[in-house]
Amino acid sequence: MINKEFTIDGQYGFHLRPAQVMVEKMSPFTCDVKMKKEDGTEADAKSILGLMSLGLNNGQKVQMETNGADEKKAMATLEELFRTNFGE
């Protein structure tokens, strides 16, 4: 299991487009991928409805967790998504 903290860095927070990009990039991986808010609320990062239900705003910190056979590759992809602000 790999855990890393990231900060939401988007004027409109974590809205539909970044959520869609995350689901598209995470779905091919066989490992579990979760996004967790500071209050402990979590969502499956392969579920657009789950991600949107978190209601993340700009500046909020989240924990990303990958667990499974390809967890390292999945986390590397997450790092790239956050680094490039989901292509926005």
Q: Which residues pair with 7 in a beta bridge?
A: 61
Question: What domains are defined for the chain?
Answer: 2-87 (3.30.1340.10)
Residue 23 CB contacts under 8 Å (≥ 6 apart), including other chains: 45, 46, 47, 48, 51
Q: What is the pLDDT of residue 2?
A: 97
Q: What is the pLDDT of residue 10?
A: 81
Q: What are phi and psi of 71, to 5 degrees?
A: -60, -35
Q: What is the pLDDT of residue 88?
A: 77
Could you give the CA distance from residue 64 to residue 35 in angstroms, rounded to a whole number? 5
Q: What is the pLDDT of residue 11?
A: 81
Q: Identify residue 62 by its one-letter amino acid code.
A: V
Q: What is the pLDDT of residue 87?
A: 83
Catalytic positions: 15
Q: What is the pLDDT of residue 12?
A: 84
Spell out, as residue ranges, where the chain has pLDDT lower than 50: none
Q: Of 39, 24, 35, 33, nearest to 1 (Cα)?
A: 33
Q: Of 63, 65, 84, nearest to 6 (Cα)?
A: 63
